[in-house]
Amino acid sequence: MGVTFKSVEVELDLVAGVMAVTVSGKLEKEDYETFNTEFDSMLSVHDRVRVLVELKDFHGWTAGAAWEDTKMGVRHYSDIERLAIVGENKWQKGMAMFVKPFTRAEVRYFDAGDAEAAHAWITANA
């Protein structure tokens, strides 16, 4: 099942419990409102979810989106089993390190050229 909204495209694999998210441009508060709805639907089927985030031409967050991201992290601290971030540059790799204290998920960063490895890792033993 797929959902596309302003800066984010979401694919849900309800059987495996994997949410694949492609983000481009700048995230806005409204993007999180839709994303949270999709995430909650995954949690209605699975105790914990695996999330694959692919950043393509990503330019960060608005202040409202950053606040929504923080709230989501607190609310879903234990709900993510694995988080794979696929990025294009050094600051995005740093972002993967930054999120680790805010989640119980196993977090890994993959360079854009390693997107297939990220997908294999996020779905392994799902």
- Residue with token string 């806005």: 28
Lowest average pLDDT, out of 41-45, 105-109, 116-120, 122-126, goes to 122-126
Give the pLDDT of residue 7. Answer: 63
Q: Do residues 46 and 74 touch, judged by C-beta distance below 8 A?
A: no
For the chain, list the domains and their CATH numbers.
2-123 (3.40.50.10600)
Give 6-42 as a 3 state SS string.
CCEEEEEECCCCEEEEEEEEEECHHHHHHHHHHHHHH
DSSP type of residue 101: G
List the single range of 6-15, 51-60, 96-105 with lowest mean pLDDT. 6-15
Mean pLDDT to the nearest integer, 87-111:
82
User: pTM for this one?
Assistant: 0.86
Query: Using an 8 Å Cβ cutoff, are 19 and 76 in contact?
Result: no
Average pLDDT score over residue span 62-68: 86
Q: Torsions phi, psi of 6, nearest 5?
A: -40, -60
Region 96-114: what's the mean pLDDT?
86
Q: Is 89 exposed, middle or buried (0-12, 13-18, 19+ CB in 10 A)?
A: exposed
What digits encode the pLDDT tens for the residues 31-42?
888 788 888 989
